Amino acid sequence: MSGDKDRRGFLKSLGRLAGLAAVAGLGAWARPKMSDFQSRWQLDPRKCVQCGRCATACVLKPSAVKCVHAHAICGYCDLCTGFFVSQPNSRNTGAENQQCPTGAIKRAFVEDPYFEYSVDPEKCIACARCVKGCTSFGNGSLFLQVMHDRCQNCNQCAIARVCPAQAFSRISSKNPYRLKGAA
Amino acid sequence: MLGNGWGFWVSAGGRFPPPEFTGGYRMPGLNPAPPPAAWLAWLDVAMLALALAAMIFFAHRKSSRRGILGVAVFSVFYFGFYRHGCVCSVGALQNVALAAANANYDFPWTVAAFFVLPLAAALFWGRVFCAGVCPLGALQELVLWRPVKIPAWLERGLRLFAWAYLGLAVLLAATGTVFVICRYDPFVLFFRLHGSFSMLMAGLAVLALAAVVGRPYCRFLCPYGVLLRICAGLARWPLRLMDEEECAMTRICYQECPYGAILRPVPEKEGGLGFGHGRLALVFAVGLAAVLVGGWLGWRAAPELARWHATVALAERVALENAGKVKGTTLESRAFRQLGLPADELLSDALRVRRQFQFGAPLMGVFVGMCLAGAFWRSLRSPPARAVFSIDPSFCLVCARCLDACPVLKKRRIAAIGE
């Protein structure tokens, strides 16, 4: 009986050694793949079709996706299609004439005939209405990005799973944004 | 689509040159916030290691239920509510599978550490990770109210689901389809306080079940638990009850264990192992059949499974629409056409994924078949003789209820305090 136990104990130690070797082997194999950087979720604005799911699918409320504005490629239009709805009641900045349902886009006069538009991330819900207006008829300077100060970096991003354009992917935290108009 | 209201002014092409300002206007830059510092991810790893060490101390050194529950509460709050359940060791196995299959994936060190640390701990001390370091396990441990005993045959059968789930999760992760463990994690929505209605119902159902059936997810479904079972089976210092001469045979440990991890005594059989040629041939035949059937089923199911991958689903949809076999469009197919991506690229991508499934799904089937064959072999094999009640380290979730309840050990602890 004790001989039987010794044998089992010996086999177990062998198995344990094999287990440790497997772990070490896994490490050695994965070493070149491993990265000092985290993988972060990001969307490619060139693939975005402004479906609006970023606003609803994120595990955060409001979404970790926000609209950002690349001023470098903005036309500074008076009649901004990202700011105004397509058939406004009248040409003023009343809430009913704005694309943004939360009033997150600020419009400020710069000089004739230019207006500066900026997005307040606190108010933005990533509905992408402004992005749609700007991309369809303007320069596409308004676009969506996952904001990494908010994103929980879920192992399976809930938006990526439902994005109809497959615009989301895991990218390195070394360079975690995909910006338009970057030099 | 936007209405026609803009027609009066977009006729110019809708693209406007950036203005040249004269009044000294300074253009705001675009500097979105960087991700959280890398050391925060290492803090999570440190917390994991610390919690594992605390669990080893409380379970192995102190046999303290209170200490174990304390660590469980900590895990539910730190890994659960504070870190929102990501990243966890259970999900990390998918990252490992993805890193194995996809050379372009940056496999973070911290995720590798989350995968390896609990397995390494299990090789020495058993499933201390499950005891309450895992937030999913900890939550179920905390809601267990009136455990009912499950018949041994049912327990053994249900445990097999975890193997199948592991195979499926690895297949779907390696092909880059979806991290299915995360997708169908029944508890993570409690930590995030957000999720779909169906997952909320599933989560509540599993939690309600966990009140009477000890840790259903851990025992019957957890894919990472399968790896932990293997490692814990080889543990150097697993949780033990006592030697033959000391056990008072009260059966209390057996009745206390809510996880079916206490092995009852087995009388010594006459004639040793008794595994005749006939039985051996039967096991071999059944094993071969299970492997073949599993592989065949996997091969047949591959196209269906591949449809989980968004690229395959899209390519099929676009092909059907182009052939006029379906009416209307989907958001996905509209997006594809709107972006004007090359159709042959989509097709070749989809075919590549399909080939991966055609290779991986039969492998998965063979794997599940082997598990079933192994289970069949175990059910026929007469277990080694045991004189007393003992813990099966593969399935022990290190809750220490047995150690806590055993009158012999209690007496020993009182004696130790007396000295």
- Tens-place pLDDT, residues B318-365: 999 999 999 999 999 999 999 998 999 999 999 999 999 999 999 999
Q: Residue range B388-407: average pLDDT?
A: 94
> Three-class SS of residue B232?
helix
CA distances B375 to A15, B102, B337, B393, B395, Å, are 20, 33, 50, 17, 15
Distances in Å between the alpha carbon of B183 and those of A91, B85, B93? 46, 12, 14
Low-confidence ranges of chain A (pLDDT < 50): 1
In which band, very low, low, confident or very high, does the pLDDT at B7 lie, cut at 50, 70 and 90? Answer: very low
Which pLDDT does position A32 carry in this prediction? 75
At residue B101's C-alpha, the angle toward residues B95 and B103, to 5°, is 90
pLDDT beyond 80 at B1: no
The percentage of chain B sitting over the pLDDT mark of 90, rounded to a whole number, equals 74
The partner residue sitting opposite A68, judged by closest CB among B21, B32, B179, is B32
Contacts of A153 in chain B (CB under 8 A): 35, 86-87
Q: What is the pLDDT of residue B245?
A: 82
Using the predicted structure, report yes or no on whether residue B56 has a pLDDT greater than 50: yes
Q: Is the pLDDT of residue B10 over 80?
A: no
CA distance B64 to A169: 45
- pLDDT value at position A149? 95
Q: Kind of pairing, strands B390-391 and B262-263?
A: antiparallel
Chain CA centroid to CA B75, Å: 17
- pLDDT tens across B280-302, in order? 888 899 999 999 999 999 999 99
Return the H-helix or E-strand segment holding A119: strand A114-119
pLDDT at residue B139 in the model = 96
Is B112 in contact with A61 (Cβ distance < 8 A)?
no
Q: Does position B3 have pLDDT exceeding 50, yes or no?
A: no
Cβ-based contacts of B172 with chain A (< 8 Å): none
Q: What is the mean pLDDT of residues B19-38?
A: 89
Contact B310 A166 (CB under 8 A): yes
Sorting pLDDT into bands at 50, 70 and 90, what band is B4?
Answer: very low
Q: What is the pLDDT of residue A16?
A: 87
Closest-CA distance, A173 to chain B, in angstroms, reads 7
- Is the backbone of residue B400 left (phi > 0), alpha (psi -120 to 50) or beta? left
d(CA B290, CA B373): 6
Taking each helix axis from N to C terminus, what angle separates B223-233 and B89-101, rounded to the nearest 10 degrees? 100
Q: Which residues in chain A have their CB less than 8 angstroms from residue B233's CB? A: 15
Residue B273: the pLDDT is 53
Q: What is the pLDDT of residue A37?
A: 81
For chain A, the domains span 2-33, 39-172
- Determine the residue among B44, B123, B330 to mutate to test chain A binding: the one whose Cβ has the most chain A Cβ atoms within 10 Å: B123
Are residues A72 and B18, on separate chains, in Cβ contact within 8 Å? yes
Residues of A in contact with B336 (CB under 8 A): 165
The CA-based angle B186-B188-B192, given to 5 degrees, is: 140
pLDDT at B243: 81
Is the pLDDT at B205 greater than 60? The verdict is yes
pLDDT for residue B272 is more than 70: no
Q: Which residue of A has its CA nearest to B231?
A: A19
Please answer yes or no on whether A156 and B91 come within 8 Å at the CB atom: yes
CB contact under 8 A, A30 and B2: no
Q: Which of B6, B34, B84 sits opposite A86 (nearest CB)?
A: B6
Average pLDDT for chain B: 90
**Beta carbons of B91 and A4 less than 8 Å apart:** no
Chains A, B: CB pairs < 8 Å: 197
Residues of A in contact with B6 (CB under 8 A): 81, 86, 137
pLDDT digits (tens, 9 = 90+) for B76-131: 999 999 999 988 999 999 999 999 898 888 888 899 999 999 999 999 999 999 99
Q: Determine the pLDDT at residue A92.
A: 87
The pLDDT score that the predictor gives to residue B377 is 87
- Smallest CA–CA distance, residue B150 to chain A, in Å, is 29
pLDDT digits (tens, 9 = 90+) for A161-170: 999 999 999 9
B417 pLDDT band (50/70/90 cuts)? confident
Q: CB–CB of A79 and B9 under 8 A?
A: yes
| B-interface mutation test, from A155, A161, A173, A174, most B Cβ less than 10 A away | A155
A63: nearest CA partner in chain B: B194
